[in-house]
């Protein structure tokens, strides 16, 4: 069916593209009265790729009111201010209390002693988070009738925490009448609550968080079904009812620029759009892309929803968990309504009264099968503050507020309850000491708090997750005891783009070490915390020092706060080797994960591998080189040109010169002695093209323009004219290949001159040609470029990259070592010396560029942006804006503070459980790690855009039964102590003596060290073992794969194929 739009699940015919107007999704406090805003890409680039520009601009025009500045309120405020809303107004009528110090990271002990109001204690520090956001105190009583009336027209969203239930209901009623979204939440010790009401009709412009991929079309049928078939490797992932938009279709041009409904999914590569019989026949090609599908969502009021809650279930192993939290919340709200405070955990009568209220609520909710122990724990701990749980809900509710402001993604409908029941012990002693730990003691007890205080934690990475995790650790007391320590490491430095998510840092910290500044800043949250900061990257290079085995043995728990898989796998291997618990968490846009790794019990991070890359996501070499079909192909090509021209080739030049020089005379002698020198062809071209003036550099840039965008097209068309036909009558230029058109240089075309300007700046830098800012003005460049003579195009006979080639030529193929080029370079140097251009003692060097995407003054993205769009124009591909080019070229991972807050909070909850079970995580006590322990832990997957949060038990470590009945898992490791004089026979006998097994083969990685059936291998037994090993300088051991077996251990007449535990061989006697 043609051009349909969807509303409330119904289809409506339309003749044009259906576009939701801005007013359809607006809430009160109209955005339209606000001036247009610009997005600071240097600050918001990562979030910009999550929300998109339209949503970001809506955020920049929005005002939010937050009631209640306890732990949850300040977490929400932090995330919204980092996100860049226009204004955040704060209201709170409470003084700072000791209990606040476990949840609110901006309140200090001095604030409590002086009874400073919570809002006054926080507002200055919240303002520091983002100077572009107005943060102010809301005057008056926002819960009074007069205050409620004043909200109309001021705010686009109101968030209420820590106010009476009657006030919330009245507030919600007032806001509903003016169509202003309302969010409320609470943090009651070991459980937290969130609720959303966006009104009877809330239009969501873009419900799906998934970024639409462009699909290359192979064929469209001219039938009543109108079947669209994508090219191989471009699975559409569409569903019936989805909307798709077409462009660049040749022949059936009626499709271009129009949106159609997917009537039927035919196969993973095909879908039907309805009757196309009246359209022109499809000739070739085209691109289809899923279009947003707006929908209207209805909500119930808070008053109605309390009685009939719509609950988001997160833990499928506990079907009643959300309901149990809900009745506990009702009970606590009723108790607070009666007494204006929460139950005293040490007053059994008050606790009992609140529990009876919860049971009555359970009866009203028809909840008969509930965990009474949880109800008791929830009531007793309700006055506490468990910041990791608070931070998680703070991330969720801040994201819901962003949905209310932007009309983007599916809102929460309507309740979310999360709990941490697994960390609470009914038998624990809870002391109230009027200190900063009262709030956390109420949740976990005295014993667990002392365990946390004396914990030794190693956290790798101090970026977004690292900053949030460090804050959480400080608030729950980790490393705050006499024996405790938090060790952090990060080799990176603070950049402006970090400030949008890494909330510990400020503009004045840009350029400083992340780990050092994080260690310093977290002391402001909890001065008791002991922190040691390193500036090293974890890798084999730092495995000898400082992060050796002894270092890991001194740690209790390792926390990954990393942003790449390679580093995660490395840390996982180090933790498995040293039998240390590991917490891994990560984010991608609104998605996040948490994985807990328990020694001897669970599988490791490296056990599960990511799925193979999609065929449609990888770019074959031939596509990149000569046949792009999408703008992404052009961007990757431009990035490759940048790397080749401004990084790789200058580095090759410097390496060549240092290897054979460093003086010019020495290089000349080397060339005269040897006719084959690696990379001599590249060096010759660089020297022969060396510019000596600004005019020379401009000429070089102009010639590159001609080569890339004019001559390249002419060469392809010379070899394959547009009407070129292959054997069998198939036209060469068929989808996905596009015939190029030469781009004729126009000095009045801004894109053309942008290429000249950026290329001029970059070539000048690598060749050390002085260039000033005034030299790069468009007026001067136009004058200089007009003087450049462009030779006529002369066709070449070389072949174009194979249509089926998937990889670039190898180094040996692409780099020439010919004697002719060496002679030419020698002649060039000799003639230059004779002319006196330089002396024999002079050295030569170039200045390679190191790609940096976030520096807008270095011309890196400027060059890639201009080159990519010029190549797109050459192939008649739609161009792209700078933001998209920067994301693809910079390999930028979309990120937002809300997701980071959630995963960091959930990971810290698992850390508390690990601390409670540490005494079981030793080889001697590992038998205590049974299935009952496993059920306490939770891995998490979440997507805040949907929203979904899934908890699951970690996978149990796979066990293997070896011959003789020995059971091992990935956590088992055998060891042999030797020395530098050990023979291979000594090693074999040591294994026999210690493990009573005969060695059959020895491997070091893929290297065959000992295989008896191999010629000469039996003679190795008497020789020094080290002779056949690759011994690292940075370590005292190596890990060997050793197969063992007895002759009588067979299966079906064949020797058992068994994977034995790795054997760690210590080859230095000092190592035990």
d(CA 17, CA 2): 10
Instruction: Give the count of beta carbons closer than 10 Å to the beta carbon of residue 35.
Output: 5
Are 351 and 343 within 8 A, CB to CB? Answer: yes
Residue 932, preceding bond cis, omega within 30 degrees? Answer: no
SS3 at position 632: helix
d(CA 456, CA 334): 42
d(CA 579, CA 572): 10
d(CA 732, CA 737): 8
Which one, of 422, 450, 373, 468, lies nearest residue 596 by Cα? 422
Contacts of 401 (CB under 8 A, 6+ apart): 64, 76, 80, 157, 159, 181, 183
Would you state the torsion angle of the CA atoms of residues 763, 766, 770, 772, taken in this order, to the nearest 10 degrees?
60
Task: Copy the structure tokens of residue 256.
Answer: 């271009």
Contacts of 596 (CB under 8 A, 6+ apart): 581, 582, 583, 602, 907, 910, 913, 914, 937, 938, 939, 954
* Given the residues 230, 407, 622, 634, the one annotated as active site: 622
Tell me 117's DSSP state.
B
d(CA 276, CA 291): 20
Contacts of 537 (CB under 8 A, 6+ apart): 489, 491, 567
Which one, of 292, 341, 436, 393, lies nearest residue 73 by Cα? 393
Strands (E) across 884-1006 are located at 939-943, 948-952, 960-962, 966-968, 974-977, 999-1004
| C-alpha torsion sign, points 909, 911, 915, 917 | positive
Contacts of 673 (CB under 8 A, 6+ apart): none
d(CA 785, CA 746): 11
Are 1035 and 1029 within 8 A, CB to CB? Answer: no
Q: Is 622 an active-site residue? A: yes
d(CA 862, CA 859): 5
d(CA 525, CA 531): 12
d(CA 345, CA 378): 10
Instruction: Give the count of beta carbons closer than 10 Å to the beta carbon of residue 1018.
Output: 13
Place of tokens 């956590």: 971
CA 573 vs CA 539, 549, 558, 566, 604: distances in Å? 11, 12, 12, 11, 8
User: Catalytic residues, which ones?
Assistant: 622
């Amino acid at each position: 069916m043609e051009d349909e739009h969807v509303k409330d699940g119904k289809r409506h015919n339309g003749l044009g593209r259906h576009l939701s107007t801005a007013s359809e999704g607006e809430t009160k406090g109209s955005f339209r009265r606000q001036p247009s805003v610009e997005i600071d890409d240097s600050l918001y680039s990562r979030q910009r790729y999550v929300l998109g520009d339209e949503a970001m601009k809506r955020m920049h025009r929005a005002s939010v009111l937050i009631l209640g500045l306890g732990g949850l309120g300040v977490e929400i405020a932090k995330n919204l201010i980092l996100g860049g809303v226009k204004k955040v107004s704060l209201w709170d009528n409470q003084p700072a209390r000791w209990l606040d110090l476990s949840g609110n990271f901006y309140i200090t002990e001095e604030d409590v002693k002086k009874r400073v109001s919570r809002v006054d204690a926080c507002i200055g520090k919240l303002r520091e988070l983002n100077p572009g956001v107005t943060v102010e105190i809301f005057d008056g009583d926002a819960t009074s009738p007069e205050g409620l009336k004043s909200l109309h027209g001021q705010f686009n969203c109101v968030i209420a925490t820590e106010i009476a239930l009657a006030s919330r209901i009245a507030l919600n009623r007032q806001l509903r009448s003016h169509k202003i979204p309302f969010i409320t939440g609470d943090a009651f010790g070991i459980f937290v609550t969130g609720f959303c009401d966006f009104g009877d009709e809330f239009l969501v412009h873009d419900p799906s968080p998934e970024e639409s991929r462009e699909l290359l079309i192979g064929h469209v049928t001219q039938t009543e079904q109108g079947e669209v078939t994508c090219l191989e490797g471009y699975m559409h992932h569409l569903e019936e009812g989805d909307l798709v938009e077409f462009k660049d279709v040749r022949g059936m041009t009626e499709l271009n620029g129009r949106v159609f409904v997917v009537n039927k999914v035919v196969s993973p590569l095909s879908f039907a759009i309805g009757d196309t019989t009246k359209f022109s026949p499809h000739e070739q090609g085209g691109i289809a892309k899923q279009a947003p599908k707006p929908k209207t969502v209805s909500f119930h009021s808070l008053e109605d929803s309390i009685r009939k809650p719509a609950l988001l279930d997160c833990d499928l192993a506990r079907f009643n968990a959300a309901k149990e939290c809900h009745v506990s919340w009702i009970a606590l709200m009723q108790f607070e309504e009666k007494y204006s405070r929460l139950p005293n955990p040490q007053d059994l009568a008050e606790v009992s009264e609140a529990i009876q209220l919860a049971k009555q609520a359970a009866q009203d909710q028809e909840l008969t099968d509930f965990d009474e122990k949880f109800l008791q724990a929830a009531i007793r701990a309700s006055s506490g503050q468990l910041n990791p749980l608070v931070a998680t809900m703070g991330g969720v509710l801040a994201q819901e507020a962003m949905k209310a402001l932007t009309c983007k993604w599916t809102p929460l409908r309507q309740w979310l309850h999360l709990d941490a029941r697994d960390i609470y012990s009914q038998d624990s002693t809870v002391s109230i000491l009027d200190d900063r730990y009262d709030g956390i003691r109420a949740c976990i007890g005295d014993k667990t708090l002392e365990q946390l205080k004396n914990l030794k934690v190693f956290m790798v990475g101090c970026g977004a997750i690292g900053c949030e995790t460090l804050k959480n650790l400080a608030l729950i007391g980790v490393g705050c005891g006499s024996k405790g320590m938090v060790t952090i490491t990060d080799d990176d430095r603070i950049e402006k783009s970090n400030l949008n998510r890494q909330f510990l840092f400020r503009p004045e910290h840009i350029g400083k070490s992340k780990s050092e500044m994080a260690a310093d800043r977290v002391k402001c949250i909890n001065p008791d915390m002991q922190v040691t900061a390193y500036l090293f990257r974890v890798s084999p290079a730092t495995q000898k020092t400082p992060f050796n085995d002894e270092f890991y043995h001194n740690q209790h728990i390792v926390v990954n706060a990393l942003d790449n898989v390679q580093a995660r796998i490395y840390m996982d291997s180090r933790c498995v080797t040293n039998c240390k618990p590991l917490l891994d968490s990560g984010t991608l846009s609104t998605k996040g994960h948490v994985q807990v790794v328990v020694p001897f019990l669970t599988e490791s991070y490296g056990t599960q591998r990511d799925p193979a890359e999609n065929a449609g996501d990888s770019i074959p070499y031939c596509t990149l080189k000569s046949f792009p079909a999408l703008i992404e192909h052009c961007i990757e090509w431009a990035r490759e040109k940048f790397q080749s021209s401004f990084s790789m080739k200058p580095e090759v030049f410097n390496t060549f010169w240092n290897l054979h020089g460093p003086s010019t005379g020495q290089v000349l002698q080397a060339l005269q002695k040897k006719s084959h020198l690696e990379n001599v062809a590249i060096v010759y071209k660089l020297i022969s093209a060396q510019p000596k003036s600004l005019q020379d550099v401009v000429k070089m840039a102009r010639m590159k323009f001609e080569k890339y965008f004019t001559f390249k097209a002419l060469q392809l068309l010379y070899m394959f004219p547009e009407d070129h036909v292959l054997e069998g009558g198939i036209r060469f230029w068929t989808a996905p290949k596009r015939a190029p058109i030469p781009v004729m240089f126009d000095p009045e075309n801004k894109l053309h001159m942008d290429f000249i300007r950026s290329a001029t700046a970059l070539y000048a830098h690598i060749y050390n040609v002085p260039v000033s800012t005034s030299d790069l003005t468009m007026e001067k460049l136009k004058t200089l470029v007009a003087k450049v003579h462009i030779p006529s195009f002369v066709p070449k006979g070389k072949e174009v990259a194979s249509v089926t080639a998937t990889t670039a030529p190898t180094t040996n193929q692409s780099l020439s070592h010919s004697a002719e080029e060496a002679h030419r370079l020698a002649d060039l140097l000799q003639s230059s010396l004779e002319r006196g251009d330089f002396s024999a003692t002079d050295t030569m060097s170039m200045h390679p560029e190191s790609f940096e995407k976030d520096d807008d003054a270095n011309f890196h993205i400027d060059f890639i942006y201009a080159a990519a769009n010029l190549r797109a124009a050459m192939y008649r591909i739609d161009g792209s804006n700078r933001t998209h080019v920067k994301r693809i070229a910079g390999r930028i991972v979309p990120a937002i503070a809300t997701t980071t807050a959630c995963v960091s909070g959930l990971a810290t909850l698992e850390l508390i459980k690990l601390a409670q079970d540490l005494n079981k995580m030793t080889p001697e006590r590992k038998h205590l790690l049974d299935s009952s322990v496993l059920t306490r832990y939770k891995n998490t997957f979440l997507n805040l855009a949907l929203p979904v949060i899934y908890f699951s038990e970690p996978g149990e470590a796979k066990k293997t039964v070896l011959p003789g009945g020995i059971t091992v898992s990935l956590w088992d490791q055998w060891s042999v102590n030797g020395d530098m004089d050990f023979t291979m026979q000594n090693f074999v006998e040591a294994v026999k003596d210690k493990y009573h097994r005969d060695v059959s083969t020895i491997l070091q990685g893929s290297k065959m060290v000992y295989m008896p059936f191999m010629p000469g291998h039996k003679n190795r037994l008497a020789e020094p073992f080290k002779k056949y090993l690759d011994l690292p300088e940075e370590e005292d051991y190596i890990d060997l794969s050793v197969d063992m077996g007895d002759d009588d251990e067979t299966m079906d007449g064949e020797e058992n194929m068994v994977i034995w535990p790795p054997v760690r061989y210590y080859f230095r006697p000092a190592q035990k």
